[in-house]
Chains A and B, each alone.
Chain A
């Protein structure tokens, strides 16, 4: 019993990280209708920056996180404005291929400059235990940060002018333009936020797990699965999707071995795509 409870807790902790990892991807897909193949590399880039700030200059990851997030926001904003906005209304084949091309460039430079060695920030905080369930403190911090960031994004989408503008563009691009919203700028902001969340997720991951460029595809795959489970473009959807995936992977790993955990995620995604493409929550994302 206690073992299952431990697996459940592990799954939830992992799931919140997945949610944070996927929420930016989901937002970009939902608002821009672009499948952002760069997302995985953005995450790893954020992780590497955090690691090197810690390693070379002794900057604590918690301090590095806002800076990394801001930098990624700028990169995302510029990428969207200069490159993706030119083709944003073209079919998915074009936009997906373009972001994949950009991903290859970023990926290549990361492997050349940082090499693919797995690296992590080791804080050595030890574990905490309640009622027989053990959770490492760094993971707990990661979970809290992931929840905090996802919550902040949710608040921003609901309360701020820019958030309402993003939702308006998502609902009807043309009507939003008629209401005086600069659609191109909103697209750039949205993509920037997507990259920012990726960078922040990367910073969190670097504290908890080793990051390497070999993981870009895995993280991107997670973002796909979470998005399809939770429904597109919605922050609560990504949270639900992330936690569901985390728990399922955790139990699948316990029962069938860790390799199968990934497979189960993809099978679940394919089944859901076919039976219920709006995701488990059925949220259309108009938060």
Chain B
């Protein structure tokens, strides 16, 4: 399958257009759509983050929720201790990154299925620890986070700007990694880790860097999410569903590409929104069906489809078999 690689300016233009569309939602759409835009920006940041370890490096990480949840709690606890909000987000970012670096040094020795199971285990373990550590984390009751003053409209706009900012930074990091030695090394690891090691890629260091980068902005997004919502609990913060949804968004767009996670998240969230509204009881089943269709019919994601000759292929498909022979 010929992979149409977009030129650099096209990637930037597409991303800039999408950012502008999300950022301008309060001007042309209802508040409901603006809140959806905040969610889209946040999930795009998470998907772009996952892409660094799952897409570029090819490690099936399901630890997104662990980093996100850690960010939620680090940010919330810092804010409750009186740290100003932006500083609390910074702390959450550093905590998530440091945690990923330490964890990565251990679990990145595992491969394939064992790595997948290990990363799921980390999420579960974090959730259990946070829910049972009542005195520090509020346990299963969750935590209240000081709300931003200024009324719902102002708050929504502030967090729209913040989430779009996080998304833009994550995109910038993705572009930088994509064009650097690091990105090249990660792709080598994805192709064949032993061979990459042989030709002099410091695989352990590269993997730990990728894992840490993939955690940093999950931490920021988590902390910002906690401040936005004003309340967090262990079940929502450390949800396996999120750990799987984020890779699915990425796969929907095309894992390992720069724009894939952006396109995939947009497609996924809009799809989910349409179905949420019309089939409230069956939204999980529909998500499941989307996953099944994605795996069977879109193995390369939306960006992996050869759009340029889709017309001719469609015509060929419609032609009676005699003419084809």
A-side interface residues toward B, CB under 8 Å?
A: 29, 33, 35, 83, 86-87, 91-94, 96-98, 100-105, 107-109, 111-112, 217, 221, 224-225, 228, 257, 259-260, 262-263, 266-267, 269-270, 273-274, 277
- A102 touching B109 in the complex, CB below 8 Å, given contacts A35-B117, A107-B284, A228-B117: no
Residue of A nearest to B59 (CB): A93
Q: What are 16 pairs between A and B in contact, CB < 8 Å?
A: A91-B112, A93-B116, A94-B299, A97-B248, A100-B244, A104-B287, A108-B288, A221-B121, A225-B121, A228-B117, A260-B132, A262-B128, A263-B128, A273-B107, A274-B106, A277-B114
- CB < 8 Å: which of A87, A109, A266 contacts B285? A109
Q: With an 8 A cutoff between CB atoms, is B60 at the interface?
A: yes
- A103 touching B131 in the complex, CB below 8 Å, given contacts A97-B244, A221-B124: no
- Residues from chain A with a CB closer than 8 A to the CB of B284 are 104-105, 107-108, 111
Q: With an 8 A cutoff between CB atoms, is B169 at the interface?
A: no
Whether B125 contacts A92 by the Cβ 8 Å rule is no
> How many angstroms from the CA of A98 to the CA of B290 in the assembled complex?
10
Whether B285 contacts A104 by the Cβ 8 Å rule is yes
> How many angstroms from the CA of A193 to the CA of B109 in the assembled complex?
32
- CB < 8 Å: which of A97, A104, A108, A263 contacts B251? A97
Whether A29 contacts B132 by the Cβ 8 Å rule is no
Residue of B nearest to A100 (CB): B244
- Residues from chain B with a CB closer than 8 A to the CB of A101 are 287-292, 295
Whether A35 contacts B116 by the Cβ 8 Å rule is yes
Mark each residue of chain B from 242 to 254: 1 if its CB lies under 8 Å from any CB of chain A, else 0.
0010011001000
Whether B121 contacts A266 by the Cβ 8 Å rule is yes
- Residues from chain A with a CB closer than 8 A to the CB of B307 are none
Q: With an 8 A cutoff between CB atoms, is B58 at the interface?
A: yes
Chain B, interface SS category: helix
- Residues from chain B with a CB closer than 8 A to the CB of A277 are 110, 114
> How many angstroms from the CA of A277 to the CA of B111 in the assembled complex?
11
Closest Cβ–Cβ distance, residue B80 to chain A (whole Å) = 23
Closest Cβ–Cβ distance, residue B128 to chain A (whole Å) = 4
- Residues from chain A with a CB closer than 8 A to the CB of B289 are 101, 105
Closest Cβ–Cβ distance, residue A38 to chain B (whole Å) = 10
- Residues from chain A with a CB closer than 8 A to the CB of B122 are 270
- Residues from chain A with a CB closer than 8 A to the CB of B62 are 96
Whether B110 contacts A104 by the Cβ 8 Å rule is no
Q: With an 8 A cutoff between CB atoms, is B129 at the interface?
A: yes
Whether A270 contacts B240 by the Cβ 8 Å rule is no
Name the interface residues of B252-298: CB closer than 8 Å to any CB of A: 281-285, 287-292, 295-296
Q: With an 8 A cutoff between CB atoms, is B163 at the interface?
A: no
> How many angstroms from the CA of A279 to the CA of B281 in the assembled complex?
41
> How many angstroms from the CA of A107 to the CA of B160 in the assembled complex?
34
- Residues from chain B with a CB closer than 8 A to the CB of A33 are 113
- A94 touching B295 in the complex, CB below 8 Å, given contacts A101-B290, A108-B282: yes
Whether A100 contacts B291 by the Cβ 8 Å rule is yes
Closest Cβ–Cβ distance, residue B40 to chain A (whole Å) = 21
Residue of B nearest to A271 (CB): B106
Given A93-B116, A221-B124: 20 more A-B contacts, CB < 8 Å: A33-B113, A87-B295, A92-B112, A93-B60, A93-B247, A96-B60, A96-B62, A100-B291, A101-B289, A108-B284, A111-B284, A221-B121, A228-B117, A257-B132, A259-B131, A266-B128, A267-B125, A270-B118, A270-B125, A274-B118
Whether A112 contacts B125 by the Cβ 8 Å rule is no
- Residues from chain B with a CB closer than 8 A to the CB of A105 are 284-285, 288-289, 292
Q: With an 8 A cutoff between CB atoms, is B45 at the interface?
A: no
Nearest 5 A/B pairs, CB to CB: A101-B291, A104-B288, A108-B285, A105-B288, A108-B284
Closest Cβ–Cβ distance, residue B50 to chain A (whole Å) = 11
- Residues from chain A with a CB closer than 8 A to the CB of B296 are 86-87
